[in-house]
Amino acid sequence: MATERAIFAGGCFWCMVQPFEEQAGIQAVTSGYIGGEISDPTYEQVKRGTSGHYEAVEILYDPTLYKYTQLLDLFWPQIDPTD
């Protein structure tokens, strides 16, 4: 089975997990933080914007079953790109 990885940041990661988990061809969805200036930030630091991190999801998927463009089609309606 082929595996590719995509990382998407877009506000609240809790909102982004479920829609991806429900798709055939998606092997795993892991929420966490990306970027930032400090090691091991707390949720409160990230939420307040004091750590420089963004909430994100890492998606492991099989590109023969689920295309990257399909990931984008699922991602964009979930976020506010001006946030």
How is 33-70 classified by DSSP, letter by letter?
EEE-SSSS--HHHHHHT-S-EEEEEEEEE-TTTS-HHH
Catalytic residue list contains 12: yes
d(C-alpha 60, C-alpha 28), whole Å: 5
* Choice among 5, 7, 12, 32 that is catalytic: 12
With CA atoms as reference, report the closest residue to 75 among 2, 30, 18: 18
**Which residues are annotated as catalytic?**
12
